[in-house]
Structure 1
Amino acid sequence: MRIAGEGHHGLLFIRSAACRAPALERVYERGGCMGVVMLYENGEIRYELATAGEVPEGRATRIIESPGLAVAYIQPGHATERLCRELTEQHRPVIGYGGWVQNWDGDPYRSDKPAEGLGFAHAWWEFADSGAFPEGVICCPVERAGAHVWMIHRNEATEQLIEEMTVVSKRIIGDGLWLQSWDKDR
């Protein structure tokens, strides 16, 4: 890790040498958060079916973070085990190789807060019919600079989960809690 420099309001950004500058510059432009912010580029996102108490009653999902890790706990009945496995597997190369970096501020429950509308990127989840996927595929990210959408097979998740993940994505991605760290369309 190395010190990247001071930003607005006395912010201190710490990142590894491989973390790409555009993501950091976008944090500077928006004023970032108060305090020390660490950018974790070789992180992990996991999707797991929840056990008792991991998701508040009435909700389909809750994301809990720690440095370099986000776990999306999904209430049983709102997603299939297969969808959880495939979402985890499909996130691995993108997150694990620095395509997205975690802008960590120390709050494991920060995705529970409403989106502030900072506009770092646009993100959402939506249903797609089986004809939209290659054979045997049930989910697929579609991504370009400034936008990210997860296409989910209609039989693998509930409408409530899709709606909640869209709301959470507006917070996590739209407010820069996780930052795109590349400049080209994929």
Structure 2
Amino acid sequence: MADDDAQRCDEPGELSEPRAEFDMEFVDWLPGGRAVIPVESQGRFTWLVVRGHVSEQARQEFVRELQHIVGRGLWRQDWPAGAP
């Protein structure tokens, strides 16, 4: 995934309007020695990940799991009107 690829999560047969959006952004470091931190702001949910701490296989599995959770309606974002 590129440093700032957005994922719009819907599964076939579900509502056509995305119910959740997320990014995975790779950074050089995070506070407290953490490898991953979720951040929610301005209508997006971003997973900050320290470079080298998530393999491509782990990233793909993570994306598939999020798509499943969102596609089944287990995670919905309720952004205020006008949020980007």
TM-score by length of 1: 0.29
Pick one of 15, 21, 24 that aligns with 1:125. 24
Counterpart residue number, 2:74: 177
How many residues align? The count is: 69
Moved over 6 A (4+): none
- Pick the structure with greater CA Rg: 1
Matched, 1:140 2:37: yes
What residue in structure 1 maps to residue 57 of structure 2? 160
Deviations for 1:144-179, whole angstroms, at most 9, x for unmatched residues? 364312112223221111122123223323553212
Letter in structure 1 aligned against 2:22? A
Structure with higher RCO (Cα < 8 A, 6+ apart): 2
Q: Distance in 1 between matches of 2:59 and 2:41?
A: 20
Percent pairwise identity: 33
Q: 1:123 to 1:157 in 2, by over 3 A?
A: same
1:115 corresponds in structure 2 to: 11
TM-score (norm 2): 0.53
Uncovered stretches (5+) of structure 1, i.e. residues with no partner: 1-113
Instruction: Determine helix, strand or coil for the equivalent of 2:33.
Output: coil
Distance across 2 between alignment mates of 1:138 and 1:173? 23
